């Protein structure tokens, strides 16, 4: 009896150790690293101040892969005359001829993909807010200033969620 109990215990311990070793060698999917960007509203006088990082009309392009956690540090420059905001919305129309809303959409393209009060009152001049969301679905989107009329004046950029893409912020020609 003593030998069989000891043998059973040894076999159980060996099986547990083998299972633990097998599990530790299984590759695990790692969470995507956060992609961090700074977007500054009214950074220059270009487009009468209706710009992000000094460019307007879709030329500022952010690209990430699907599933990427995104952190946008949104700054409304202290020289801005008006509040501004940032909201990621689905692209309607085409990249060359987008259909732009008069103000912030009721729902951003991804949960959390907007500054607080993206329409009115927006983010006051000289203030910074953090926007965090996950770019969960591949596709082409816009990021707009949701303050009434600003997107229509050209205050929008392009937000691409492309499989295999490395996070980038660039200016299109």
Mean per-residue pLDDT, 127-141: 98
Tell me the average pLDDT of the chain.
89
Instruction: Determine the pLDDT at residue 114.
Output: 98
pLDDT (tens digit per residue) in 4-50: 665 555 455 555 555 555 544 444 455 679 999 999 999 999 999 99
Is 3's pLDDT higher than 90? no
pLDDT tens for 40-81 read 999 999 999 999 999 999 999 999 999 999 999 999 999 999
145 compared with 31, residue with greater pLDDT: 145
Q: How confident is the model at residue 47, as a pLDDT?
A: 97
Q: How far, CA to CA in Å, does 74 sit from each of 43, 103, 113, 115, 123?
A: 11, 18, 11, 8, 9
Distance CA 132, CA 20 (A): 36
Task: Find out whether 70 and 134 touch, Cβ atoms under 8 Å.
Answer: yes
104-117 confidence digits (pLDDT tens)? 999 999 999 999 99
How far from 51 is each of 2, 31, 78, 143, 165, CA to CA, in Å? 81, 33, 14, 11, 25
Dist CA 40 CA 35 (whole Å): 16
Please name each of the domains of the chain with its CATH number. Answer: 35-171 (2.60.40.420)
- In the numeric block, which tokens belong to residue 170? 């660039």
Q: What is the CA radius of gyration of the chain?
A: 24
Q: What is the pLDDT of residue 105?
A: 94
Q: Is pLDDT larger for residue 148 or for residue 12?
A: 148
What is the per-residue pLDDT for 173?
Answer: 87
The confidence score (pLDDT) of residue 28 equals 45
Name the percent of the chain lying above pLDDT 70: 82
8: left (phi over 0), alpha (psi -120 to 50) or beta: alpha
The contacts of residue 165 (CB under 8 Å, 6+ apart) are 63, 64, 65
CA separation for the pair 58, 119 (Å, rounded): 19
């Amino acid at each position: 009896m003593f030998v069989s109990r000891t043998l059973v215990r040894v076999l159980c311990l060996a099986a547990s150790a083998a299972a633990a070793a097998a599990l530790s060698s299984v590759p695990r999917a790692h969470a995507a690293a956060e992609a961090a960007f700074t977007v500054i509203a009214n950074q220059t006088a270009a487009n009468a101040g209706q710009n992000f990082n000094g460019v307007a009309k879709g030329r500022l392009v952010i690209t990430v892969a699907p599933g990427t956690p995104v952190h946008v540090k949104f700054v409304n420059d202290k020289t801005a005359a008006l509040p501004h905001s940032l909201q990621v919305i689905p692209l309607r129309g085409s990249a060359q001829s987008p259909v732009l809303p008069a103000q912030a959409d009721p729902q951003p393209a991804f949960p959390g993909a907007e500054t607080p009060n993206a329409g009115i009152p927006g983010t006051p001049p000289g203030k910074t807010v953090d926007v965090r969301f996950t770019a969960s679905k591949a596709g082409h989107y816009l990021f707009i200033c949701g303050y009434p009329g600003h997107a229509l004046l050209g205050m929008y950029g392009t937000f691409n969620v492309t499989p295999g893409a490395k996070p980038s912020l660039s200016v299109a020609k």
